[in-house]
Amino acid sequence: MVREILIYPHEMLTKPTQEVDVIDNEVRGLIRDMFDTMREAEGVGLAANQIGVPLSVMVIDTTPKEEVPPVKLVLINPKLVKGEGKVKFKEGCLSFPGLSVEVERFERVKLSALNEHGEPVEIELEGFPAIVFQHELDHLKGITFVDRLKGWRRRMALEKYKKILREVQKG
């Protein structure tokens, strides 16, 4: 089921999520809804709190943005184990419609998480999928991509976003 994506500054986007204890039918349903919602919005990643569920769950599917093979992941209680290298990339966010900002991230990451079956996994990602992972991991901590900017860059991005929102509201 496609759910509504919360738009910044919704408070759910600025609060850390809670770890999942048990992967039950509710969590499995949440994961299905997250894929449905992400695909309909043509996104490449989604965090559970973006659809109003404060649990540490993210989904990634780079199919819309990447050549083969796409990276498709369900990550529950994900952690960054190691990050290497720096890369700057202009990111978008489904919770900030119309805004894109350049953010510095690790180029390669090693992460640990549970998969949808509750099995612990360790995964290495590089390039675009690594960026998507770090963006979604921030969401789960209540951090958005504008929080990665400092000083005037952050102020400029928020000003621009306010303008975009006003235009959208005007129709």
Q: CB of residue 96 vs Zn ion: minimum separation in angstroms?
A: 7
Stretch that binds Zn ion, among 20-28, 72-80, 86-94, 109-117 (CB under 5 A): 86-94
Nearest to 84 by CA among 143, 124, 44: 124
Stretch that binds Zn ion, among 6-14, 19-27, 89-97, 154-162 (CB under 5 A): 89-97
CA distance 165 to 50: 17
- Contact indicator for 122, 112 with CB cutoff of 8 Å: yes
Q: For residue 42, indicate whether it is catalytic.
A: no
Q: In the window 47-76, what residues touch Zn ion (CB under 5 A)? A: none
**Given the residues 67, 91, 136, 159, the one annotated as active site:** 136
Query: Contact with Zn ion (CB under 5 A): which of 13, 31, 44, 93?
Result: 93
Per-residue DSSP letters for 10-27? -GGGGSPPBPPS---HHH
Work out the burial of residue 107: count CB atoms within 10 Å of its CB; fewer than 13 is exposed, 13-18 middle, 19 or more buried: middle
Stretch that binds Zn ion, among 85-93, 109-117, 147-155, 160-168 (CB under 5 A): 85-93
The residues that touch Zn ion, with contacts defined as CB under 5 A, are 93
